[in-house]
Every structure is written in C-alpha cells, then in structure tokens.
Amino acid sequence: MRLSRSLVPTLKETPAEAQIASHRLMLRAGLVRQTASGIYAWLPAGWRVLQNIAQIVREEQDASGAQEMLMPTIQSAELWRASGRYDAYGPEMLRLKDRHERELLYGPTNEEMITEIVRSSVKSYRELPQNLYHIQWKFRDEVRPRFGVMRGREFLMKDAYSFDLDYAGAVVSYRKMMLAYMRTFQRLGLKAIPMAADSGPIGGDLSHEFIILAPTGESQVFYDAAFEGIDYTGGQFSFDSEADLQRFHEMMTGSYAATDEKHDTAAWAKVAEKREGRGIEVGHIFYFGTKYSEPMGLTVAGPDGKPVVPHMGSYGIGVSRLVGAIIEASHDEAGIIWPDSVAPWQAVIVNLKPGDAACDSICEDLYAKFAGKALYDDRADRAGAKFADADLMGHPWQIVVGPRGAAAGNVELKRRATGERQELAVDAALARIL
C-alpha cells in the first residue's frame, strides 16, 4: 500500500480514553477506532494484523486435524433453552427480538449450536472423533469493557469443539488442542504458559488457561523455568502420535505454573528454577464430558448398536485480544514492535524525498518487488515525521531511501526490534528481508 493513498490515521497525541500501552498504541498507530463502549472498527492496518493472527491460528488448528466451518453470530433462544443456559447465562448475553417477536441472541459462544449440528448429522461412533472450529465474532455484554481490544464486548474468537466416543478419546483431543495452542503462540512470537484452571464439576486436570508473558499483564504469574526454550514447532511432537501427545501433556502439567489467584507457596518452594512475571490470558481449553451432549440429546450408535453419549471439549483463543496482548508483550517508547509473523507489512519503504528521481526509482522498484508485503511511505512529509510513524507502526524492517545513499544505489536498513541500522545496496537489503 502507498501510505499517501491509505487510511492509516496515525496520531501524534494519545486519545484521553486510552490508558494501557496497547490501547494507546493501537489508536495512535491507526489500527482501530472505537465506535461504542467495547466495540471497535478495524482499520486497514489493524485488519491485516487481525487476519495474520487468525491465519496462524487456522493453520495450527488445521494441522491438529480440526475442521474449519462457520456458524452464525445470531442464534435462536430456543437452542439455549434446550441446554438450560438461556436463563442461566444472565445479562452478559445480548438478547434480541425479530419482527415476529421471536427471541434471538447474539452468540457469546457456540456449544449449543455445534451440539445441535452434530446431533442432526452424526449418527455412528464410526464418525467420531470430530473436532470443529470457527473464527467468528462474539458478543458478551461485559459490565465494564476496558483495555481497548483486550476486553471488548464484541471480539473475534476461535472456538473449537471436540466430540469423542469416550473419555479416553476426549483426552487425546484435548492434548492435540493443547499442542496446537502452544505451537500457535510460539509462531505468534509469544511466550505462553499453560496453567491449570478450574474445571468445574467434572474435575480432573483437563482445563487450562494459556497465559502469555507481558510486562504489563493483568496478573502475576509464577512458573518453572522448565517451560522456557521448548520448541513446539520443530517436529518433536506429532499430532498423530498418542505417545508424543502424552509426553507433551506430561511436560505441560508436570512443572509448576500458577497465577497469583491460585499460587501455592508450598509447591512453589520446591521449584528449583523459579520464574515470575506478568501475564495475560489469551486462551482457555476444557473438557466437559457430557454437559451439553446429555441434555441436548446427542447420541451416536456405539459398536454394539446401543446409543452412546459423546464426550465433548471446547477450546477458545481470543484472536482480537491477541492483537492487544502482542503489543503489550512487544513495544517500546516509540511504538509497536511487531513480530514478523503478524506485522501488517514486513517492511516500510521510507522515501525521504518523493520527487527526487533517484529516490523515487529505487522506492518504486523495491515496492514492486515486495509485491504487497511492504508499505510505501511516499508522503511529502518531513523525514522526522516518517521515521516517527515508522517506529510507531512497528514494521519489522524500515528501508530508508534518501538522496544521500540513493546516488550510490544504497539504502539504509533498520531493524525495528533492535534499532540496528546498516547501509546496503538495494538488492542486499531486499535479500535480508525476503
């Protein structure tokens, strides 16, 4: 995109409503605009980030064997009465009526709907297991939306639902999702720690929250250094190997990890290498047995022909929350520092002197070669303003093209994360990035 013709409204000053770093930076970098309390419009740059994150989430879900689908945002109240949650869910659920006075709701989650869909189409144990997910907007009428996109009322979530014949099968599905999550967060450039969470009446160790480390996180976290440096994407854990999945699960549950709410000082004392930090919750997975399948009448024919009630689990990632969380984990005084995998553009080409033949020629050439992966700052602004915006927007690379180097066919390459700069020939710079 050419910046001169794009809607990327950066701000020099911070709007008064924004308190935390990610919210301030998202507004200043022109990623989002708030349209109502807890509801945001995603502007071009922000939308690219959101899609990049969603794509990584999607790839890892697919790799785990889950199938993507899309369920609607609007659901009928009837569905929720069947599970008993219509009344139980409370005022957080946005309720609507259509022109015929039929009761509808804007989905806060999709257990009921997916259970109904599976109920109507899956008839035999041979069709299990199934794991279905979608990436869809949710609405939860939070009492107090805050922290920008991290605690909005409308938010984009990836939610997956697994269906297995029995508990043993559900455990395998659970472990696959846990692995998919750790791989996803690693690819997003985040350090994530799975933490045991309340699993309700079902019990067991099959509910985990995924906390990512960020200095400005909401809660204090305590964890074993054993979680550091594990490579989840390198091939040592296969989704197809139950032995791998078990080893992985033991690794994740065998070391101490807790937020301040559940911190156990006695157990903590025994940890050899302690780590503490701040964290943000970005995902939650749990096994809940037949909590929905039972009341909603989901059964399949078992091997002996008799009906069996499938065991379910559900698995959520806050996709839009991740945008804020990544910024909390990766920014400095000047602005955002995007991990390469989620950046809206890999590089910004900063033309210091639009109109100068040498500068224009190098920039146009670079811009074409990046084929959409670079933002071209062709605005007729001061150099300082462009540098400030480039840092603010957080592009992983900045390619500075000025008359000084252009004459010799050189550009300056700056890495946003380290601040490191060097003067290179155009092709050499290009080779470093692509």
Partner RNA sequence: CGGGGCGUGGCGCAGCCUGGUAGCGCGCGUGUUUUGGGUACACGAGGCCGCCGGUUCGAGUCCGGCCGCCCCGACCA
Q: Which of 247, 353, 415, 432 binds RNA (CB under 7 A)?
A: 353
If the CB atoms of residues 106 and 125 are measured against RNA, the closer one turns out to be: 106
Least distance between RNA and beta carbon 240 (Å)? 27
Q: How far is CA 389 from the centre of its chain?
A: 25
Q: Which of 116, 164, 328, 389 binds RNA (CB under 7 A)?
A: 389
If the CB atoms of residues 168 and 407 are measured against RNA, the closer one turns out to be: 407
Segment interacting with RNA (CB under 7 A) among 41-49, 163-171, 314-322, 339-347: 314-322
If the CB atoms of residues 149 and 296 are measured against RNA, the closer one turns out to be: 149
Amino acid 48 reads R
Whole-angstrom distance, CA of residue 369 vs CA of residue 347:
12
Q: Per CB under 7 A, does 37 bind RNA?
A: yes
Q: Which of 337, 366, 412, 426 binds RNA (CB under 7 A)?
A: 412
If the CB atoms of residues 125 and 367 are measured against RNA, the closer one turns out to be: 367
Least distance between RNA and beta carbon 7 (Å)? 13
Q: Which of 15, 84, 200, 297 binds RNA (CB under 7 A)?
A: 15
Whole-angstrom distance, CA of residue 417 vs CA of residue 31:
19
Q: Which of 11, 168, 425, 434 binds RNA (CB under 7 A)?
A: 11
Whole-angstrom distance, CA of residue 122 vs CA of residue 374:
46
Segment interacting with RNA (CB under 7 A) among 250-258, 293-301, 368-376, 402-410: 402-410
Whole-angstrom distance, CA of residue 413 vs CA of residue 149:
32
Q: Per CB under 7 A, does 394 bind RNA?
A: no
Whole-angstrom distance, CA of residue 398 vs CA of residue 411:
10
For residue 193, give the H/E element and its range: strand 192-196
Q: Which of 49, 118, 317, 363 binds RNA (CB under 7 A)?
A: 317
Segment interacting with RNA (CB under 7 A) among 80-88, 180-188, 368-376, 403-411: 403-411
Residue spans of alpha helices (H) in 29-166: 44-63, 77-83, 85-88, 111-121
Q: Per CB under 7 A, does 194 bind RNA?
A: no
If the CB atoms of residues 122 and 348 are measured against RNA, the closer one turns out to be: 348
If the CB atoms of residues 152 and 313 are measured against RNA, the closer one turns out to be: 152
DSSP string, 251-288: HHHHS-EEEGGG--HHHHHT-SSEEEEEEEEEEEEEEE
Q: Per CB under 7 A, does 316 bind RNA?
A: yes
Q: Per CB under 7 A, does 358 bind RNA?
A: no
- The arrangement of strands across the sheet holding 410-415 comes to 374-377, 347-351, 397-401, 410-415, 421-425
Q: Say which DSSP state 337 is in.
A: -
Q: Which of 107, 194, 217, 318 binds RNA (CB under 7 A)?
A: 318
Segment interacting with RNA (CB under 7 A) among 17-25, 97-105, 186-194, 291-299: 17-25
Q: Residue 209's beta-bridge partner residues?
A: 195, 284
Q: Which of 34, 52, 61, 293 binds RNA (CB under 7 A)?
A: 34
Cα separation values, 7 from 43, 54, 57, 320, 323, Å: 7, 22, 27, 20, 19
Q: Per CB under 7 A, does 94 bind RNA?
A: no
Whole-angstrom distance, CA of residue 268 vs CA of residue 272:
9
> How many residues bind to RNA according to rule CB under 7 A?
64
**Residue 289, phi-psi category: left (phi > 0), alpha (psi -120 to 50), beta (remainder):** left
The answer to whether the beta carbons of residues 212 and 192 sit under 8 Å apart is: yes
Least distance between RNA and beta carbon 18 (Å)? 7
Q: Per CB under 7 A, does 218 bind RNA?
A: yes
* 3-state DSSP assignment of residue 405: helix
The answer to whether the beta carbons of residues 335 and 12 sit under 8 Å apart is: no
Please name the residues in contact with 361: beta carbons below 8 A apart, sequence gap of 6 or more.
none
Residues 109 to 168: which contact RNA by CB under 7 A? 140, 142-147, 150-153, 155, 157
If the CB atoms of residues 283 and 310 are measured against RNA, the closer one turns out to be: 283
Segment interacting with RNA (CB under 7 A) among 14-22, 113-121, 264-272, 362-370: 14-22
Whole-angstrom distance, CA of residue 145 vs CA of residue 73:
20
Q: Which residues bind RNA (CB under 7 A)?
A: 10-20, 23, 34, 36-38, 140, 142-147, 150-153, 155, 157, 209, 218, 281-284, 316-318, 320-321, 334, 352-353, 381-385, 387-392, 400-406, 412, 414, 421
